[in-house]
Amino acid sequence: MAEPFGELAPLLAPRSVAVIGASDRAGNLGGIAVGFLKKFGYRGAVWPVNAGRATVAGLRCFPELAALPEVPDMAIVAVPAESVLGVVADCIAAGVPSAVVWAGGFAEGGEAGRIRQQQLETLCRGSSLKLCGPNCIGIINTAIGLTASFSSLMTEIDHFTAGTVSMVSQSGGIAVNAHARAQDLGLGFRVTISCGNEAALGIPDFMRALLDDDGTRVIAVYTEGISDPQGFVDALAEARRRRKPAVVLKGGATEASGRAALAHTGRLAGSDRTYDAIFREFAAIRVHSLEEMLEVALQLASLPPERLPTGNRVLLSSFGGGSGVIATDQCAREGLVVPPLDAATREKLAPLLTPLASSLNPVDLTPGSMTNPNNRANLPQVLDILADAPGTDQFLFFSSGFGALAPALADMFEAVRQRTTKPIAISWLAPPEEIVPRLAANGVMVFTEHARLIRAAGHLVRYAADLRHRIRVVPHDAPGFAWHEVVPSDGDVHVVTEDGVARILERAGLPVASGRIARTLDEAVQVAEEVGYKVAMKAISPAITHRAAAGLVALDIASRDAVAQTFRDFSARAAALDARLDGVWVQHMFQGNVELLVTAFRDQEFGIVVGCGMGGGMTEVIDDVVFTRTPIDADGAFDLVTRLRTVRRLPTLLSDLQVRLAADFVARFSALAASAPWPNFTLEVNPLKLGPQDVAAVDGLLIIG
């Protein structure tokens, strides 16, 4: 069996620890660390290092690293920032394989701190030392009593509850608060890592180490920014491959990406949307609060391996009708379905339920199911029948109160949980004091609000669906033309209007509504005759970005005379606006009943991204768009298109053929975009019209720079 934590084993599971700078002076962090290691029964050797001390916390203190009985696996560097570089250099010289640096005063501070961190990074880069920090709270491994941390959490508890969730966090406070709450719930964490400024090791490195640890079943991540985007992507991909859930809380979600405002994409796609796309691609579970992260991670950890919902149908049971009604509404908001129970199941339940009970779904067991001894005797059989009910994928069990009877009900729940093959979870309003630890002893997460359990159940459904989807980056062929031949560029910011975009799409073999640019009235009439009526006419001018508002777009033109008059009107309107016309785009009016937006841009962290959404005039009003990295194949594009809210809620909006046609366009468009050479660009088709049997790009825009 591979060593837990892989190459980071000396850092996350060291066999010996040296605490450099430790003393018995009040408030000394090194001395506090030695005390914590003793308090929580760290299994390895602990060696304080301080030339001015003979003992620390009752342990022999050594004057320097060279005086230790052997090279320690880990050095806790408990010294001020000004001394860190010298101590780390000593660790490297002594061959110490790992170190934790707690001190602040590095890149998070002023210029002096940034220079100091650069020096630390350079020092570590040229060595084999695995360093966590600086500016971090450190590492806790509850399985071995490792407390390479000065967290106040350890002053508030007497022992660790060793769990199966491990966390890596850029914020020490978030990590400590999460661990403390998990401890309060009786479930605990396995490993807690505060990685701070990531001078040497970052979130992706720690994620890979946790993936190599069989004792970690779920990885929780808090991040505000990724210093190694490709490493993060690779770690998420490996988590998906191994089916080890990653639950991610991403801070800084409101930061705008600053992409081109001329395109719809600039207002719909920001850095946060790109992160959503990355998480969806790799089945990472994105949450939006610390509480949500904990609940989802601990609920996943409480499930037997691979016991995920196979669909979005849930069975609800409660001891009161009102709770079930409210819960049904909450399920709908999470995309969960509460189907009625089948007749055979209801028939089995009928003789076992109280007269006031309801065997519909949600199932109202009524309080009498517990308070009446005869009914209580039937309840285990009732729960077994509900757990076996066909047509449901999860069983959500709601309870409250019950005082002295609560332990018996908890035992019934645990018995059915052990037997059923479906995910089953419990929410208990105002649970008696002994209930949470009683169930936690068996690994059960007890929710204290029904809505929070429903939210976690929704995450489980989406996670299982993401594991099944086919959205993958795939190899792609070159577009078959040289970009500089189609889009001459001197490197300055400029806009390629729809006539140029049409040429690009046509060269790439994508379907485009027939059209050409006309520079004279006679040319406009000739083009209209060639592409076929009805036609659309749109003025082309670099000075006018919102042509419809300027009166420079006309649709459904059906005759030569109308074309000629429209051309004259456009010329007069442009003159009135003091704008130069490069020509008029004359295009056949492609008939389609649905309009989509298809777009691509280069994200500065994750590369080129493709998006698909509802298009036309409602693009920004509906704001229904999904993104993924490029390029993808037609199967992945099919799954992307069917993720649109509008498509999910209106299943008859698109025929199967239209979905396949749209997916084929998106896939080929993604391959085209993936070959774009510019450091910054946005390529957009809006709309892509879908007809009963075919599709065509009707309008497009390319912004470079």
What's 353's domain CATH number? 3.40.50.261
Rg (CA), the chain: 31
Segment 439-459, tens digit of pLDDT: 999 999 999 999 999 999 999
CA distances (Å), 519 to each of 25, 163, 272, 540, in order? 86, 72, 43, 10
Task: Judge if 44 and 130 occupy the same domain.
Answer: yes
Report the SS3 class of residue 540.
strand
Average pLDDT over all residues of the chain: 92
Task: Specify whether 278 is located in the same domain as 339.
Answer: no
Please give the backbone phi and psi of residue 148, each rounded to the nearest 5 degrees, phi first. -85, 60
Which of 566, 588, 610 is the last residue in one of the domains? 588
Residue-wise pLDDT for 330-349, tens only, equals 999 999 999 999 999 999 99
Q: 660 and 526 in one domain? A: no
Six-digit token string for 271: 């850095």
CATH number, domain at 550?
Answer: 3.30.1490.20
DSSP structural state of residue 313: B
User: How many domains are contained in the chain?
Assistant: 4
Cα angle value 236/241/244 (rounded, 5°): 70
- For residue 623, what are the domain limits? 594-704
> What are the backbone dihedrals phi and psi of residue 394, each rounded to the nearest 5 degrees, phi first?
-145, 150
Count of beta carbons in the 10 Å neighbourhood of residue 683: 27
In a domain, 242, yes or no: yes
* 238-277 per-position pLDDT tens digit: 999 999 999 999 987 654 433 433 444 444 545 788 899 9
- The domain that holds 643 is classified in CATH as 3.30.470.20
Pair 614, 584 in one domain: no
pLDDT in the model for residue 544: 78
The per-residue pLDDT for range 553-572, each reduced to its tens digit, is: 999 999 999 999 999 999 99
229 and 374 belong to one structural domain = no
| Alpha helices, DSSP H, located in 192-262 | 203-211, 229-242
| Closest listed residue to residue 579, CA positions, set 540, 612, 618, 605 | 540
Statement to judge: residues 276 and 328 lie in one domain? no
pLDDT of residue 546: 76
My answer on whether 206 and 155 are in the same domain is yes
**Any domain includes 20:** yes
Weakly modelled stretches of the chain, pLDDT under 50:
1, 255-267, 269
Clarify whether residues 245 and 340 are in a common domain.
Answer: no
Residue ending a domain, among 562, 588, 614, is 588
Spatial separation of the C-alpha atoms in residues 143 and 12, rounded to whole Å: 11
Residue found by looking up tokens 């993720």 in the block: 643
pLDDT at 491: 55
> Are residue 546 and residue 459 in the same domain, yes or no?
no
Query: Cα(265)–Cα(625) distance, rounded to whole angstroms?
Result: 10
- The answer as to whether 444 is a domain residue is yes
The token duo for 153 is 């959490």
Q: What three-state secondary structure class fits 139?
A: strand
Pair 455, 583 in one domain = no
Q: Do 134 and 265 share a domain, yes or no?
A: yes
Tell me if 328 is assigned to some domain: yes
pTM above 0.75, yes or no: yes
**Same domain for 89 and 106?**
yes
Query: Token pair for residue 276?
Result: 């959503």
Mark which of 275, 302, 329 sits at the end of a domain.
302
